[in-house]
């Protein structure tokens, strides 16, 4: 017995309900009018390729994540052979590197505490700042703004710049680690509209307005900005 999304069935069920000639005729009557071809509007290809180019510019090209080529040499497992004496020498160098690393980390932590103590006193959690590039594509847009919990949902604070190609707009914003909600406010011929990022998870607030979510840092990190 299998169960998919609350439906129960088994092989015998499927066999028992083999379609007969009447079922086939009914299905054909239903499906025939639905087989007429459909076409998207003329600008669709252009819009998709604009979005793809924007992705590539934002660093989301698939070849960047490939381990083949530039980055592969150090992620690929390798076997190294050492003589006993060579092994001792390598162990000594490794131990020295670890101790030096610990000393550097301690020094940097102390320096960091001194330099950012005011911020740390208010917000103790953040440990990393991420530069996040937000990209929005709409050839009809006359202006695009980024709103989010990081800028107090201000509709004027963070304007996206037009990249000059295919209606793509982008802006890079420094965000602290953690979860952030955001959306785009798009100015166009029909006025101003609020748009959630179509390529990120969304949430709805108490007014049923949809916003997007980006989670930065940590194991649960999810890329939301396009």
Partner 1 sequence: MKDAAAVAAVLAGDVDAFAVIVDRYRDAFTRYAVRMLGSREDADDALQSAFVRAFRHLDRCRDPDRLGAWLYQIVINECRTLATRRSRRELRLVRDDPEVDGTSVEPDETDPPLRSRIESALAQIEVGQREAFILKHVEELSYEQMMEITGLGEAALKMRVKRARDRLRELLEGVRHE
The residues of the shown chain that bind partner 1, judged by CB under 8 A, are 2, 4-5, 7, 9-11, 13-14, 17, 19, 22-23, 25-31, 33-41, 44-45, 47-49, 51-53, 55-56, 60-63, 65-66, 198-199, 226
| Closer of 143 and 198 to partner 1 (Cβ) | 198
> Which is closer to partner 1, CB of 150 or CB of 212?
212
User: Cβ 85 to partner 1, closest distance in Å?
Assistant: 43
Closest C-alpha among 217, 218, 209 to residue 174: 217
In whole angstroms, how close is the CB of 110 to partner 1 at the nearest point?
A: 41
Collapsing DSSP states into helix, strand and coil, what is residue 138? coil
Q: Which two tokens stand for residue 176?
A: 């602290």
The residue among 30 and 121 lying less far from partner 1, judged by its C-beta, is: 30
The two tokens of residue 109 are 């932590």
Distance CA 183, CA 148 (A): 6
CB nearer to partner 1: give 65 or 83: 65
Determine contact, residues 130/216, Cβ cutoff 8 Å: yes
Q: Find the helix or strand (DSSP H, E) in which 53 lies.
A: helix 44-57
Q: How far is the CB of 33 from partner 1 (least distance, A)?
A: 4
Ramachandran bin of 35, using left for φ above 0, alpha for ψ from -120 to 50, beta for the remaining angles: alpha
Kindly tell me which of 19 and 101 has the beta carbon lying closer to partner 1. Answer: 19
Smallest distance from the beta carbon of 129 to partner 1, in angstroms? 24
CA distance 156 to 160: 10
> Shortest distance, CB of residue 29 to partner 1, whole angstroms?
6
């Amino acid at each position: 017995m299998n169960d998919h999304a609350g439906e129960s069935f088994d092989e015998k069920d499927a066999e028992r309900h083999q379609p007969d000639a009447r079922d086939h005729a009914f299905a054909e009557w239903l499906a025939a009018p639905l087989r007429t071809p459909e076409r998207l509007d003329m600008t669709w290809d252009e819009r998709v390729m604009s979005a793809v180019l924007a992705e590539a510019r934002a660093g989301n090209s698939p070849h960047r994540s490939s381990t083949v080529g530039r980055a592969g040499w150090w992620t690929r497992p390798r076997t190294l052979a050492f003589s006993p004496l060579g092994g001792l020498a390598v162990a000594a160098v490794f131990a020295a590197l670890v101790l030096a690393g610990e000393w550097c980390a301690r020094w940097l932590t102390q320096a960091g505490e001194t330099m950012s103590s005011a911020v740390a006193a208010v917000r103790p959690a953040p440990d990393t700042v991420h530069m996040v590039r937000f990209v929005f594509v709409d050839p009809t847009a006359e202006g695009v703004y980024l709103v989010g919990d990081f800028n107090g949902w201000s509709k004027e604070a963070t304007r996206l710049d037009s990249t000059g190609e295919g209606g793509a707009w982008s802006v890079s914003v420094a965000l602290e680690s953690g979860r952030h909600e955001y959306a785009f406010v798009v100015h166009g011929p029909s006025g101003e509209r609020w748009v959630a990022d179509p390529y990120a998870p969304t949430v709805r607030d108490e007014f049923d307005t949809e916003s997007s979510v980006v989670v930065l840092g940590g194991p649960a990190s999810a890329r939301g900005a396009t």
